[in-house]
Chain A
Amino acid sequence: MARTEAARKPVLGGRMANHAWVGVTPAEPAKRLSLRAPAESVASLSRTLGLKLPERPKQSVLKGDRAALWLGPDEWLLIDRAESNLDAAVDRVRVFHSAVDVSHRNVGILVEGQGAEATIAAGCPQDVSLQAFPVGACSRTVLGKIEIVLWRTGEAQFRVECWRSFADYAFTLLAEAARDANG
């Protein structure tokens, strides 16, 4: 009973908002795990994942296609752009942890360009200046009326992660904010 795989329908398919100063585009699908683990499990998990899980607020670690974002003292969001079999790798770890697939729960939105910071600042009350939120910084925070994970991937590049059903709101708000982010 071999069947072709059901077609994937990303929630933001076809959406984009591009200006000379900033572009708002949906991120490609990615593998994501919500990883929870106590401090004593971190070393073992880091070895398996091939990257050192960050242990300080707002820190992320990026290695190749794989990133770990610190969200709390025992919580990370793992994003693997290669859609590799991340959970199988983590499943091999015997120390206490919880790894839950949230690849489809989250939707990524890329905000890129010299107006990216201003676009984010339209809805996010955190200080997202380079001094306070340098490249690599990440945080679970607020965008308008929803919760997001914000990750600065470059001086003028942010990745916004939100839950799937809030993606339309997040994208619409970012696109609206982008209009006003020229300077």
Chain B
Amino acid sequence: MTAPFRIAGKGRLTPARVARFTFDGAGYAGLEGDTLASALLANGVHLVGRSFKYHRPRGFLSAGAEEPNALVGIHRDAARKTPNVRATVQELYDGLTAVSQNRWPSLKMDVGAVNDLASPFFSAGFYYKTFMWPKAAWKHLYEPQIRSAAGLGVAPDQPDPDHYAARYAHCDVLVVGGGAAGLAAALSAAEAGARVIIADEQAELGGALRFETGTNIEGKDGWAWASESAARLAAMDNVRLLTRTTAFGYYAQNFVGLVERVSDHLAAPLPDLPRERLWQVRARRVVLATGAIERHMVFPDNDRPGVMLASAARTYLNHYGVAVGKAVGVYTANDSAYHAAIDLKKAGVHVAAIVDLRDNPQGPAVDEARGLGIEISAGRAVTGVSGRQRISAMTVQPKNGGASRTIPVDALLTSAGWTPSVHLFSQSRGKVAFDEAGRRFLPGTYVQDCVSVGACNGTDELGALLGEAAIAGHAAAKAAGIKVGRVAKPKASTGERWAGGMLGAAPGAGADSKAKAFVDFQNDVTAKDIRQAVREGMRSIEHVKRFTTNGMATDQGKTSNLHGLAIAAETLGKPIPEVGLTTFRAPYTPVTFGAIVNHARGSLFDPTRRTAMHGWAEAQGAVFEDVGQWKRAWYFPRAGEDMHAAVDRECRTVRQSAGIFDASTLGKIEVVGPDAATFMELLYTNPWQKLAPGRCRYGIMLREDGFIYDDGVVGRLADDRFHVTTTTGGAARVMNHMEDYLQTEFPHLKVYLTSISEQWAVIAVQGPKSRDIIAPLVEGIDLSDAAMPHMSVREGRICGVPTRLFRMSFTGERGFEINVPADYGQAVWEAVWAEGEKHGACAYGTEAMHVLRAEKGYIIVGQETDGTVTPNDAGLDWAVGKKKTDFVGIRGLMRPDLVAPGRKQLVGLRTKDPKTVLEEGAQIVADPNQPVPMKMIGHVTSSYWSENCGHSIALALVADGRALTGKTLHVPMPDRTIEVEVTGTVFFDEKGERLDG
């Protein structure tokens, strides 16, 4: 099957294997190496989409990344449906399935096209003006309707089954763009010995040499030179050559984001192959060789399928061997489009006429076209086209008006000149400058260590471009610290002329015209929309852009920005530089979320931290709760138990026999050095100097402002060694807080801090049977009350492995905390469990732990405290060393508002109805009958059902609360007001006799 528009012997694909594909269900054949665009054009298909707003039929404008029209859906399978893929970028593979977008019921018969007829109502700013009233209708009617009607492709509705990779890379010189300039720069830098990365968005390097036929470099055809140069670079150890890779973002300090399309062009990618790979490159020097993008001519109905850029037609012909039509017209304001006519004519395609806005075009290209017998219609304009879904003729008129003539054509190639691609330069925060002679913006002031070369720098002549690029590559290598020799510049014997052209609307699309002459194809912005925006008061180009949405589509106005600016400037009567250019933002072309997220999905989205005993708890059916990144066993339900039943049983068992609890997540810091006690004195409110080795103390840490920052039990292992524990959530920040003070305030102290949170697995055994449970397992430690009283620590062995054994309690019961090296955690736990079972002990989770400590009135930092609670507020004055003259927060505690009466103090609350459990966070009032808003005097910080007490218990912060003991307060809830009595904070074993029980 020969595609009708493929020209035998033309292009670089043959011999190639046939790749079959479908578009909107119809089967076609293309060649391997085709893009979807070239394959469709080879089959004579121009109509590929409907425009965003007016649903106008659209064809291909370009042959590259700037494509605004030919956006299609690529469907690999039910889960892999990618919308808005540029058909000019998507490489063909066998079995590719593409569908058109933004049409219903079909591409050729689209109901939405009624918008085109109604277009007088859809002028610029339409949405801002129309959907104002009634206000509520926006949310419920207008927005949902507009959203369903708008948008192009359809987002996939299943999780993305592909995987995406990421790579950080560093180099001396990053070259962005692999055209003639990029290749020359990369060769020069690489041959000087620099580490080079060169990235190009195409499958092969070569850039514009892909379509230019008139170039000759180093005695070779331009494309052949490019291919050989690319091969040379690829063979060098100091070069990484990335194809199908777009530099999309230029960030601070030469950090450039690249996305490599790894497998979108493959029919059956291997499973280990990612779909895309994100490269995050840090480059000493960046060489921007991003080229230039051809502009279309702005004239009435310039969006009809068959109207395309001249360079695109050349690409399809010279690279893919595809003629874009049988009778082709050319409409231009510069020389470079002549080459399209010449190439097509030489390939045997009928070229109906070259219409040139210039009165007297001259030069080698003009002469050659004339010599080939092509009609040149100078001083004339194309003022219209016929044909809706494919053009059939162009209307040609003298540019200042006069009799028109209709010339039948099935393709019309236009060129208004070339726009240097300064996107990345602009993203690097470089300032562009307007080149008056060339009527274009070029890189002006550089902010980062980069340089622009070639067409993006306004260097059009090939010889000059190669020299500039080679020198820049060489200089970049030198600037990166490479010892370089002499620079070698590739020599160009012939090149093509890119300069010249025009900006703005062409004749027929002037201020008096009502015609639709498109500036921005993707957002359906016409020349008259821009004029209207100016008429309605937009003066800044930034306002014009937002009012019309010119340049705001996913193509970011690659073809439209300068035309839009020129029309706005003309309407304003100002020179272009005074109106200014809009800002370029990353990404240069759309980047998938997959590439940005890459590995960070599923279990790699965020680390999940598990303790050494996690597996045991999981096997026991524990329910876990998230505490920061940690998974902590919340409760251990047995058959038939709900959470309440399980927690009640766990709480009961701890006080009747014993409970075993995984306390491994608590932060632990080893404080070592001769000044360890002095350091502890400064960081905690408590006195430490006199704490004997082997003893423990509950410590409170304040911030400078006097508020509680963290707490925990600290054991003194030796004169110069403390084992500090912190809250689970505070582990990292307490370490940082301590290290901060050590390094900045107390650098004279001889002490070092080491995080040991994860060195030790911690098994808490709490309850009257706790000593009996651990005794058979412990070696070398006397567990008697006399030898090892409450709040002491010993080092010895348990189950044959080293332990730091703490006698301490967070339940009010006799208790131990067994620290063992983490890898032994589970084995020791299982041994403790086996002993515990003999005594009827249970495992308990964080919920029971919370209840048990609340029964004893022990605070939890972050629950009873909220960053505004002092030790006195929390009833912990006893933990503040009265004789101490300095510690972090001591001055804060003296602040007038911290010693004033009326502060909220921690109290207990008992509901009058013992079964009622208050809501944590509920507000407390003195008089429930006062008018709303009531005066709130406090709030509930902790509230539980206490199985051991037989009634509910709560802790609360209440203004002057301790003086209210015995008084009745009220907790208003939406459905009722709950009466509570203020009590002390200890609900169980007030005398603390059970610690030794």
Q: For A126, what are the chain B residues with a Cβ–Cβ distance below 8 Å?
A: 168
Distance (whole angstroms) from the CB of B756 to the closest CB of chain A: 6
Contact with B along A1-14 (1 / 0, CB 8 A): 10111111111000
A146 on interface, CB distance cutoff 8 Å: yes
B776 on interface, CB distance cutoff 8 Å: yes
Most chain A beta carbons < 10 A, residue from B273, B277, B756, B777 = B756
A36 on interface, CB distance cutoff 8 Å: yes
Contact with A along B657-685 (1 / 0, CB 8 A): 00000000000001011100000000000
Q: For A122, what are the chain B residues with a Cβ–Cβ distance below 8 Å?
A: 165-168, 599
B173 on interface, CB distance cutoff 8 Å: no
Tell me which residues from 910 to 939 in chain B have a Cβ below 8 Å from any Cβ of chain A: none
Q: Which of A29, A168, A182 contacts B608 (CB 8 A)?
A: A168
**Roughly how many angstroms separate A11 CA and B822 CA in the complex, as a whole number?**
9
B612 on interface, CB distance cutoff 8 Å: yes
**Roughly how many angstroms separate A129 CA and B609 CA in the complex, as a whole number?**
31
Does B600 lie within 8 Å of A144, measured CB to CB? Answer: yes
Does B801 lie within 8 Å of A121, measured CB to CB? Answer: no
B13 on interface, CB distance cutoff 8 Å: no
Q: Which of B166, B754, B776 contacts A1 (CB 8 A)?
A: B776
Does B800 lie within 8 Å of A3, measured CB to CB? Answer: yes
Distance (whole angstroms) from the CB of A67 to the closest CB of chain B: 18
B885 on interface, CB distance cutoff 8 Å: no
**Roughly how many angstroms separate A11 CA and B826 CA in the complex, as a whole number?**
11
Closest A residue, CB atoms, query B826: A9
**Roughly how many angstroms separate A9 CA and B824 CA in the complex, as a whole number?**
6
Interface residues of A: mostly helix, strand, loop or mixed?
Answer: loop
Q: Which of B166, B754, B755, B799 contacts A98 (CB 8 A)?
A: B754
**Roughly how many angstroms separate A11 CA and B956 CA in the complex, as a whole number?**
41
Does B274 lie within 8 Å of A180, measured CB to CB? Answer: yes
Distance (whole angstroms) from the CB of B600 to the closest CB of chain A: 7
A176 on interface, CB distance cutoff 8 Å: yes
- Interface magnitude class on chain B: 35 or more
Tell me which residues from 128 to 183 in chain A have a Cβ below 8 Å from any Cβ of chain B: 129, 131-132, 144-146, 163-166, 168-169, 172-173, 176-177, 179-180, 182
Contact with A along B766-803 (1 / 0, CB 8 A): 00000000001101000000000000000000111100
Known contacts A34-B754, A104-B821, A165-B630; decide if A121 and B604 are in contact (CB<8 Å): no
Distance (whole angstroms) from the CB of B753 to the closest CB of chain A: 8
Does A176 lie within 8 Å of B604, measured CB to CB? Answer: yes
Does B609 lie within 8 Å of A165, measured CB to CB? Answer: yes
**Roughly how many angstroms separate A10 CA and B761 CA in the complex, as a whole number?**
13
**Roughly how many angstroms separate A98 CA and B606 CA in the complex, as a whole number?**
33
**Roughly how many angstroms separate A29 CA and B824 CA in the complex, as a whole number?**
12
Does B673 lie within 8 Å of A10, measured CB to CB? Answer: no
A15 on interface, CB distance cutoff 8 Å: no
Most chain B beta carbons < 10 A, residue from A19, A98, A165, A166 = A165
Known contacts A11-B612, A34-B754, A121-B167; decide if A6 and B801 are in contact (CB<8 Å): yes
B195 on interface, CB distance cutoff 8 Å: yes
Tell me which residues from 28 to 69 in chain A have a Cβ below 8 Å from any Cβ of chain B: 29, 34, 36
Q: Which of A5, A36, A172, A182 contacts B752 (CB 8 A)?
A: A36
Contact with A along B193-211 (1 / 0, CB 8 A): 0010000000000000000
Does B758 lie within 8 Å of A100, measured CB to CB? Answer: no
Does A100 lie within 8 Å of B607, measured CB to CB? Answer: no
Distance (whole angstroms) from the CB of B751 to the closest CB of chain A: 8
**Roughly how many angstroms separate A103 CA and B195 CA in the complex, as a whole number?**
39
Distance (whole angstroms) from the CB of A79 to the closest CB of chain B: 15
Q: For B776, what are the chain A residues with a Cβ–Cβ distance below 8 Å?
A: 1
Closest B residue, CB atoms, query A38: B750
Does A100 lie within 8 Å of B754, measured CB to CB? Answer: yes
Q: For A4, what are the chain B residues with a Cβ–Cβ distance below 8 Å?
A: 800
Distance (whole angstroms) from the CB of B516 to the closest CB of chain A: 48
**Roughly how many angstroms separate A121 CA and B282 CA in the complex, as a whole number?**
12
Q: Which of A34, A101, A165, A180 contacts B277 (CB 8 A)?
A: A180
Closest B residue, CB atoms, query A3: B800
Does A6 lie within 8 Å of B824, measured CB to CB? Answer: yes
Interface residues of B: mostly helix, strand, loop or mixed?
Answer: mixed
Known contacts A34-B754, A165-B758, A182-B272; decide if A9 and B823 are in contact (CB<8 Å): yes
**Roughly how many angstroms separate A169 CA and B929 CA in the complex, as a whole number?**
56
Contact with B along A94-105 (1 / 0, CB 8 A): 001111111111
**Roughly how many angstroms separate A19 CA and B270 CA in the complex, as a whole number?**
14
Tell me which residues from 245 to 291 in chain B have a Cβ below 8 Å from any Cβ of chain A: 272-274, 277, 280, 282
Q: For A98, what are the chain B residues with a Cβ–Cβ distance below 8 Å?
A: 670, 672-673, 751-752, 754
Closest A residue, CB atoms, query B615: A9
**Roughly how many angstroms separate A154 CA and B727 CA in the complex, as a whole number?**
40
A124 on interface, CB distance cutoff 8 Å: yes
Q: Which of B170, B604, B752 contacts A173 (CB 8 A)?
A: B604
Does B607 lie within 8 Å of A169, measured CB to CB? Answer: yes
Closest B residue, CB atoms, query A106: B758
Distance (whole angstroms) from the CB of B801 to the closest CB of chain A: 5
Contact with A along B690-712 (1 / 0, CB 8 A): 00000000000000000000000
B111 on interface, CB distance cutoff 8 Å: no
Q: For A179, what are the chain B residues with a Cβ–Cβ distance below 8 Å?
A: 163, 165, 272, 274
**Roughly how many angstroms separate A172 CA and B848 CA in the complex, as a whole number?**
33
A118 on interface, CB distance cutoff 8 Å: yes
Does B823 lie within 8 Å of A5, measured CB to CB? Answer: no
Q: For B831, what are the chain A residues with a Cβ–Cβ distance below 8 Å?
A: 6
**Roughly how many angstroms separate A8 CA and B750 CA in the complex, as a whole number?**
35
B828 on interface, CB distance cutoff 8 Å: yes
Q: For B756, what are the chain A residues with a Cβ–Cβ distance below 8 Å?
A: 100-102, 105
Distance (whole angstroms) from the CB of B97 to the closest CB of chain A: 27
Does A124 lie within 8 Å of B610, measured CB to CB? Answer: no
Q: For A168, what are the chain B residues with a Cβ–Cβ distance below 8 Å?
A: 603, 607-608, 610
Does A101 lie within 8 Å of B759, measured CB to CB? Answer: yes
Distance (whole angstroms) from the CB of B162 to the closest CB of chain A: 12
B215 on interface, CB distance cutoff 8 Å: no
Q: Which of A7, A144, A146 contacts B827 (CB 8 A)?
A: A7
B872 on interface, CB distance cutoff 8 Å: no
**Roughly how many angstroms separate A7 CA and B756 CA in the complex, as a whole number?**
21
Q: For B272, what are the chain A residues with a Cβ–Cβ distance below 8 Å?
A: 19, 179-180, 182
Does A164 lie within 8 Å of B599, measured CB to CB? Answer: no
**Roughly how many angstroms separate A29 CA and B272 CA in the complex, as a whole number?**
31
Q: For B670, what are the chain A residues with a Cβ–Cβ distance below 8 Å?
A: 98, 100
Distance (whole angstroms) from the CB of A88 to the closest CB of chain B: 12
**Roughly how many angstroms separate A166 CA and B629 CA in the complex, as a whole number?**
10
Does B169 lie within 8 Å of A3, measured CB to CB? Answer: no
Distance (whole angstroms) from the CB of A176 to the closest CB of chain B: 5
B611 on interface, CB distance cutoff 8 Å: yes
Q: Which of B599, B750, B827 contacts A123 (CB 8 A)?
A: B599
Does A104 lie within 8 Å of B822, measured CB to CB? Answer: yes
Q: For B599, what are the chain A residues with a Cβ–Cβ distance below 8 Å?
A: 122-123, 144, 173, 176-177
Does B824 lie within 8 Å of A145, measured CB to CB? Answer: no
**Roughly how many angstroms separate A145 CA and B606 CA in the complex, as a whole number?**
7
Q: For B611, what are the chain A residues with a Cβ–Cβ distance below 8 Å?
A: 165
Complex A-B: 21 CB contacts under 8 Å: A5-B799, A7-B827, A8-B827, A9-B612, A9-B825, A96-B674, A99-B672, A100-B672, A101-B821, A105-B755, A105-B759, A121-B167, A123-B599, A125-B168, A145-B607, A163-B758, A164-B612, A164-B822, A165-B607, A173-B599, A180-B273
Sample of 19 further A-B pairs with CB below 8 A, known A104-B758, A105-B755, A129-B170: A6-B801, A6-B831, A7-B827, A10-B823, A11-B612, A36-B672, A36-B752, A96-B750, A100-B672, A101-B759, A102-B754, A102-B756, A105-B757, A123-B166, A125-B168, A131-B195, A145-B607, A166-B607, A168-B603
Mark A residues whose CB is within 8 Å of B. Answer: 1, 3-11, 19, 29, 34, 36, 74, 96-105, 118, 121-127, 129, 131-132, 144-146, 163-166, 168-169, 172-173, 176-177, 179-180, 182
Mark B residues whose CB is within 8 Å of A. Answer: 163, 165-170, 195, 272-274, 277, 280, 282, 599-600, 603-604, 606-612, 629-630, 670, 672-674, 750-752, 754-760, 776-777, 779, 798-801, 820-828, 831
For the complex of A and B, 6 pairs with smallest distance between CB atoms: A5-B800, A6-B827, A98-B752, A165-B609, A98-B672, A36-B752
